[in-house]
Structure 1
Amino acid sequence: MVLPIPALKIAQLRTPIRDKHTLVPERNMYTPMNTSSGCIPDAILFDLDNTLCTFIDAKYAACRAVTDYIGTGDETELFQYFLRPVHSFEDPNHIFDYLKEKGVYTPASADHAARLFEDVKIAHIHPYDGVHDTLRHLASLGIKMAIVTDAGSEQARKRMKKCDIDCYFPVLITPDRSGKRKPDHTPFRMALRELSVTGTIWLVGDSVRREVIPGQELGFVTIYARYGDYFAQNNPECTPDHIIDRFSDLLSITGLHQIRS
């Protein structure tokens, strides 16, 4: 899920780095509060989208495929529909509304557009560089790991399988399982119960509002994945314990770096 933001700001995010449709997360001026976590974590809770795997780029690619199919509009315009509060961020009704607005809606075209969107989106989802090596190292240290995401179970498992990371996460917490969405504390507490873990907990995510702030409230070591935050201009004031600009930077945090393979 993402917060609704003005159309102008969406356009400003679309700065090319690999091709004209690839997004660059907006930088901010956060300074990490600590330089050391103090000890090896007993468990690490991860967000999924834009933390472990690319998502916004994939969403744009899927929007582009739909607008190419219907022969009108553009991906930025359709993407903005998904930011409306009338439906959840992954609800296909956004696509249906867009087709109706463009005057091209038919039941058959809507069904095809929705399936096309999902197929293209999953095809463009990939793990960030360093994810596999880093997760492998964390697992070798005996650190328990779970994913806490606002994506539904079916969507989350598809992405995890596509990125080949499902083997690292015995616990997956989604809103359809916990009954709550982040920043509510319920999903995080549920993850800890299912991991059967106490002690030092790290929380890694790209959202200050949905991960860093609730993580601090729960007493976790908070790690802000700045590389995945495409909507940093909406962030409330907050100071995470650590900031990483690459996923592999996790291993540079004192405690893990000292015993890195």
Structure 2
Amino acid sequence: MEELETSRNGIRKNTDPGDLKAVLFDMDNTLFDFVAAKLEACREILSYIGREKGDIAREPSELFGYFLRGTYGFEDYENIRDYMQERNLFTAQGYRECCEIYEREKLQNLELYPAVMDTLDKLKGLGLKLAVITDADRNHALARLTKVGLLNYFDLLVAADMTGTQKPDPAHFLFALEAIGIKPGETLVVGDSIKRDMAPARKLGLKTAYASYGDWRPGEETDQCFDFRLNTFSDLLEISGL
């Protein structure tokens, strides 16, 4: 790893970015605010249930908490089923409606972080290869990237159903390196999770940029767990020498 220096705005900056050939991006909460979109989807589900049952409105965090339990996957509909069953709100038709609301509203409420497109344009202008590595399945990833207008920016998409694993398993990173034909030292990984993005990437010898602006579950950070800190997405341009 090359020597690091501190730039004027406090971002640790690579003194020689010329060897960088590719950037691998996590997707959710790195390119766009996925948690905010999920919360809006939960809000709409509870609103629907309230209309059907004549119930008082509840906070979306109440349903969102079910997705955080780890009982099922972060995107699994079974989280909605459990919520409804535990409150004696479950019907087969209502459950189907809630799942449809969840998918529709989650997608419709996605919003890019500031300056994402402009920054990606400049990175592409440098001749860098850009890829997405995500724990979403391929169909969901394609839908999200299409919704926010980013699909054509990326040379490669690596999704959970393509590798059969999820991060922090190294399979996503290794798949991308082989597919693009680059070495770890020529590659930067950008992600919002220390455990799932930064730690496995560093073990493989990749450079790492921690998207602190998107980390909605902080507390994992240590002094040596990443190479660069991004306070905004456009801070990537500091690392790239622009």
* Other-structure match for 1:77: 62
Find 1:162's aligned residue among 133, 141, 147.
Answer: 147
1:39 corresponds, among 10, 14, 17, to 17
- Find the counterpart in structure 2 of residue 65 from structure 1: 44
- CA-CA distance at 1:38 after TM superposition: 2.2
Counterpart CA distance in 1 for 2:15 and 2:117 is 22
In structure 1, what is the equivalent of residue 156 of structure 2? 171
- How many residue pairs get matched? 224
Q: Aligned residue for 1:96?
A: 81
> In the alignment, residue 212 of structure 2 is paired with which amino acid?
R
- Provide the C-alpha distance between the structure 1 equivalents of 2:59 and 2:47, rounded to a whole number of angstroms: 8
* 1:155 Cα deviation after fit: 1.0
Secondary structure of the 1:203 match is: strand
Displacement of 1:256:
2.5
Which position in structure 2 is the counterpart of 1:252?
A: 238
In 1: Cα distance, 2:169 partner to 2:84 partner: 34
RMSD: 1.5
**Residues 74 and 122 of structure 1: is their aligned pair in 2 closer, same or farther, counting only changes over 3 Å?**
same
Moved over 4 A (4+): none
Which residue pairs with 1:6 in the alignment? Answer: none
What CA distance in whole angstroms lies between the structure 1 residues aligned with 2:221 and 2:128?
31
> Is 1:125–1:163's contact at 8 Å kept on the other side of the alignment?
yes
Please show how residues 94-243 of structure 1 align to structure 2 within 5 Å.
Answer: 94-198=79-183, 199-233=185-219, 235=220, 237=222, 238-243=224-229
- The one-letter amino acid of 1:36's match is N
Q: Which runs of 5+ in 1 are unaligned?
A: 1-30
Amino acid at match of 1:39: P
How far residue 60 of structure 1 moved from its aligned partner, in angstroms, is 0.5
Question: Per-residue deviation at 1:54?
Answer: 1.2
Cross-structure match for 2:4: none
SS at match of 2:14: coil
Measured at CA, do residues 93 and 178 of structure 1 come closer, stay the same or move farther in structure 2, by a change above 3 Å? same
Distance 2:163 2:41 in 1: 28
Query: Is the CA contact (8 Å cut-off) linking 1:81 and 1:98 kept in structure 2?
Result: yes
Compared CA separation, residues 236 and 137, structure 1 to 2 (3 A): closer
- Deviation of the 1:222 alpha carbon: 0.6
Taking the aligned partners of 1:100 and 1:74, their CA distance within structure 2 comes to: 18
Q: Distance in 2 between matches of 1:248 and 1:236?
A: 21
In structure 2, distance between residues paired with 1:117 and 1:37: 45
CA distance in 1, matches of 2:117, 2:221: 31
| TM-score, scaled to structure 1 | 0.82
Q: What is the deviation of 1:82?
A: 0.3
Paired residue type of 1:56: V
- Residue aligned with 1:127, SS: coil
Percent pairwise identity: 37
